[in-house]
Structure 1
Amino acid sequence: MCCIAGAPSLSGRERAEKEGIRFKENKGELKIGIINLMPFKEEVEYQFYAVLGRFDISVEVEFLYPENHVFKNTDGSYIKDNYYPLGELNNRNYDAIIMTGAPVELLDFQKVNYWDEIKNLIKSNKLPALYICWGAQAALYVKYGIEKFTLNEKLLGIFRHRTNKNPFVSGEFFAPHSRNTQNSSKDIKNAGLRILAESDEAGVYMASDRDYREFYISGHGEYQRERLKYEYSRDQNLFPKNYFPEDDPKKEPPMKWDGHRKEFYYKWLSHIREKKFSNISDKV
């Protein structure tokens, strides 16, 4: 396992350190900006430190936030001390960005109070990007006019997916989903995008542009083991499918998706690194 660079005072980093992720203070081979739109910042910080810090590629991580939003579950001083505003993204010299999901999927895009910031970022972004859940829906809407539609029932659980000529994930795999909305596979195909993985139950999981520069992921391979257990305990109105052994909430769920996320994120980082250093070689 290699090490990862990140701000020393981030709560998610402290948790990752306790679980064995090694940190360094100098720059990594790659620098990734993560636009964290989720209400519980520490959890998302930990998720990505745990995922990106397990490879032989050293990664420097920074987190960003939309300025036109007041986060209710995180102290404003914590965000201002440890995060960068979205307006500074182009000045941070990132090699790629990740945009997380957000608990606003049942709102029209235009009614999200930081929509203009997100829309402008997606329109102007020229970096390799990983858009996740609502972030993927937002990017598909801005770039291709693809609408999201509301499901009859929230999709919650671990689902099996098949791959389609996917150089980033091999064979069938499991992945978590937690969402109330979805994009149509027909719309995604009509936009000229590659559908790389999908599920009979959960729909399209992963799509990309033709150059594999941008990925649109509807699920949550970054989730830690207990995330869906927390959602079930919190809401008590929907039982997560294929999650608890024998559907018994007292039993610890296996992390069926760990192999998938390890393979995907390693190949994604390797792809970015290869492009970065080939571009440098071309300029020498």
Structure 2
Amino acid sequence: MPIRLEPDFPAKTILESEDIFAIDTSRAKHQDIRPLKLLILNLMPNKIDTEIHLLRLISQSPLQIDVDFLKTTSHEHKHTSKNHLDEFYLDFSHVKENCYDGLIITGAPVEQMDFEEVDYWSELVEIMEWSQLSVTSVVHICWGAQAGLYHHFGIEKVAFTEKLFGIYKQDIQHHFRLFRGFDDRFWMPQSRYTGINEEQVQQKKIKVIAQDENKQSTILISEDEHDVFLMGHFEYGTDTLEKEYLRDRERGVITALPQNYYENGIVHNCWRAQAHLFYHNWLNDVYQLTPYHLEDIRQLQKERRLRSIRS
């Protein structure tokens, strides 16, 4: 099934050139099924690239999906035009009375800062708190995952001696339903200077469902299964790590070549299939859990939180 996009949304043309089906609003209104309502809080500097990466993945669902993009108002966005943001992005004040089936919180290049030093931290906290009652399921990516683990569970960041940068093998620890169709071992891009305090993870109501070869947690889910935390970047395109490497070099940042990325100077994408499958499974999971009437989400989430407190 298609994604519904506004007729002049920039990514629409690119996705259609890749045979990814997107329909405009007027055509979508004549379909009887209720689409899933998805909200994407895009914290990445190059927002258009991130839009394309995520839309590629969620387009593989057989469900029709309405996507809203959310921006923070407490941060000056320097890498995306104001016109683009004004036309296609919403402020939190415009969505906080709404309910959504799913929310994606992206990463952001601020991981070497303390959370409270990030200029939009208080706004992000408000959004994360709102999501607990107004969204059926939330996926947090990279720094977004670290932020979610810190806010919801008090799990602190741990600085690495050097950037974790490349494609790394992951081992499934629990065959959770988000891994339907996965191999027991899979690959996922990583690009970060920090990890999480593993000892604190063991003390919280969190399931570690995937680890890397060094036994570092890379995919986690809250015990009530509402929040999913991806430490890596399933959404990355084939050339994204190369672009990051070249960008670092231009800025004078010392970064090693991405690990397990080049083979005789050529990049072979070894994570694409699992990335599509993960998001397909997540959207299907949301579809099974979410009520038909969006306004019923808050009552269901209140009941979920009450069960979690009692347990």
TM-score of the aligned structures, taking structure 1 as reference length: 0.92
In the other structure, the counterpart of 1:244 is: 262
Counterpart mapping for 1:228-267 below 5 A:
228-236=241-249, 237-246=255-264, 248=265, 251=266, 253-267=267-281
Are 2:27 and 1:21 aligned?
no
After superposition, the C-alpha distances for 1:54-95 in whole angstroms (9 at most, x for unaligned) are: 221221111000011111111122201110012333334311
Shift of 1:279: 8.1
- 2:160 paired residue among 143, 146, 151: 151
Amino acid in the other structure paired with 1:135: G
In the other structure, the counterpart of 1:163 is: 172
After TM superposition, which residue ranges in structure 1, 4 or more long, deviate above 4 angstroms?
A: 277-283
Shift of 1:141: 0.8
Q: Which deviates the most, 26-35 or 108-117? A: 26-35
Distance 1:254 1:278 in 2: 41
Counterpart mapping for 1:1-284 below 5 A:
2-25=1-24, 26=28, 29-126=35-132, 127=135, 128-167=137-176, 168-169=178-179, 170=182, 171-201=184-214, 203-236=216-249, 237-246=255-264, 248=265, 251=266, 253-277=267-291
CA pair 98-8 structure 1, distance change in 2 beyond 3 A: same
Shift of 1:242: 0.5
Shift of 1:202: 7.6
Q: Is the 8 A contact 2:139 2:229 kept in 1?
A: yes
Bigger relative contact order, structure 1 or 2, given CA contacts below 8 A and separation 6+? 2
Shift of 1:201: 4.0
Q: Is the 8 A contact 1:9 1:82 kept in 2?
A: no
Shift of 1:203: 2.0
- Across the two proteins, how many residue pairs are aligned to each other? 278
Distance 1:3 1:103 in 2: 31
Amino acid in the other structure paired with 1:119: V
Amino acid in the other structure paired with 1:154: K
Shift of 1:219: 0.1
Amino acid in the other structure paired with 2:261: Y
After superposition, the C-alpha distances for 1:98-139 in whole angstroms (9 at most, x for unaligned) are: 000001111111111111100111123222100111111111
Shift of 1:22: 1.0
TM-score of the aligned structures, taking structure 2 as reference length: 0.84
Distance 1:211 1:17 in 2: 37
Distance 1:178 1:255 in 2: 16
Distance 1:192 1:201 in 2: 22
Distance 2:200 2:274 in 1: 26
CA RMSD across the alignment: 2.1
Shift of 1:52: 0.6
Q: Which deviates the most, 8-17 or 55-64? A: 8-17
Q: Which deviates the most, 150-159 or 22-31? A: 22-31
Q: Is the 8 A contact 2:61 2:284 kept in 1?
A: no
Q: Identity across aligned pairs (percent)?
A: 28
Distance 1:81 1:197 in 2: 38
